[in-house]
Amino acid sequence: MKYPTVSALCEGVAGAIREKEGSTALINPQDFPDRIKGLEVGGGASGSKMRYFKVVEPLPSAGGGNMAIYGQMKQVTRCEENGEVSISSGCYDSDVLGKTPIAYGLNLDMKVTGFSGEITTVGELLAGNYDDPSYFEEITEEQFYDLNTLLTPQEITFTVSGVEYTALSGMTWEEFCNSDYNIGGQDWKSDDLRFECDGNTIYAYKGDLSSGRVENASPTDTIIANTAYSIRN
């Protein structure tokens, strides 16, 4: 008997799934059905290893179209109705399912369609055909299957007039201004800035002296990691 125990059978199934996916992490037997559904018939991952990405900014829809990914994929989503977070496999279309994407596990050969109706592959999209690469942050397979890691805000950095600042992922400018991360600009001689929100404007200060306002940003905007913001008088 090839699998004399249930434990040995589970190990065999998990190993077969990992071989087809090109993955290495341990698999909970409860996840076997979804992981098997995500395998392409007759082939695994089309010769490509899965890569995993956390969604930093919501994916846009241009011209009223949807952004959909077809083929083998994994996704972590949050239900907009009840807030439930789950991992699933299959096709994702943000406007149809009513779920907010948190992370993707993607085969680089998969087809992507949407925005203006163009069709490309995930590999081409990630290579630079995306309007703004800051939508995705690559993570490990282990991080993808660790919901606590995905849902816990991570620190990001950004610059304003060449000076680097730290915030939490998903923070708006208003949240940043009211947080302990906004500790700069105490001395007018310093290079860093302190920020204050007023109406639709984000003002920058050194001591009591105003240095201007953050350009192309409003208090309700999410701060984008690795973005270079500038000051306008």
Residues 128 and 175 in one domain: no
Residues 71 and 181 in one domain: no
Residues 146 and 166 in one domain: no
pLDDT digits (tens, 9 = 90+) for 134-187: 667 788 888 888 887 777 777 889 999 999 999 998 889 999 999 999 998 888
Residue indicated by tokens 């956390």: 54
The parent domain of residue 106 ranges over 6-151
Give the separation between CA 210 and CA 118, rounded to whole angstroms. 46
Give the separation between CA 111 and CA 118, rounded to whole angstroms. 10
Is residue 1 situated within a structural domain? no
Give the DSSP H/E element, type plus range, for residue 167.
strand 163-168
- The structure tokens listed for 233 are 């008088």
Residues 129 and 31 in one domain: yes
Residues 22 and 65 in one domain: yes
Residues 147 and 178 in one domain: no
pLDDT digits (tens, 9 = 90+) for 190-202: 789 999 999 999 9
Question: Please, what is the average pLDDT of the chain?
Answer: 74
Q: How confident is the model at residue 129 (pLDDT cuts 50, 70, 90)?
A: very low
Q: How many domains does the chain have?
A: 2
Give the separation between CA 170 and CA 102, rounded to whole angstroms. 11
Is residue 141 situated within a structural domain? yes
Q: How far is CA 155 from CA 152, 159, 163, 165, 226, in A?
A: 10, 14, 16, 10, 11
Residue indicated by tokens 């341990």: 26
Residues 101 and 204 in one domain: no
- pTM for this predicted structure: 0.50
Task: Decide which of 151, 174, 209 is a domain's last residue.
Answer: 151
Task: Decide which of 135, 151, 167 is a domain's last residue.
Answer: 151
Q: Which amino acid is at 122?
A: V
Residues 140 and 174 in one domain: no
In this prediction, residue 120 carries a pLDDT of: 59
Residue indicated by tokens 């703004």: 132
Q: How confident is the model at residue 121 (pLDDT cuts 50, 70, 90)?
A: low
Task: Decide which of 92, 116, 151 is a domain's last residue.
Answer: 151
Residue from 94, 87, 99, 89 nearest 146 by CA: 87
Residues 160 and 185 in one domain: yes
Q: Among 45-59, 98-112, 125-139, 145-159, which stretch is predicted with the lowest mean pLDDT?
A: 125-139
Is residue 54 situated within a structural domain? yes
Residue from 168, 171, 155, 159 nearest 204 by CA: 159
Residues 133 and 225 in one domain: no
Q: Starting from the edge strand earliest in sequence, which strands make up the sheet with 68-70, in order?
A: 92-93, 68-70, 111-114, 118-121
Residue from 43, 11, 41, 38 nearest 27 by CA: 11
Residues 188 and 217 in one domain: yes
Residues 199 and 211 in one domain: yes
Q: Starting from the edge strand earliest in sequence, which strands make up the sheet with 85-89, in order?
A: 85-89, 73-79, 99-107, 50-55, 136-139
Is residue 58 situated within a structural domain? yes
Q: How confident is the model at residue 39 (pLDDT cuts 50, 70, 90)?
A: low
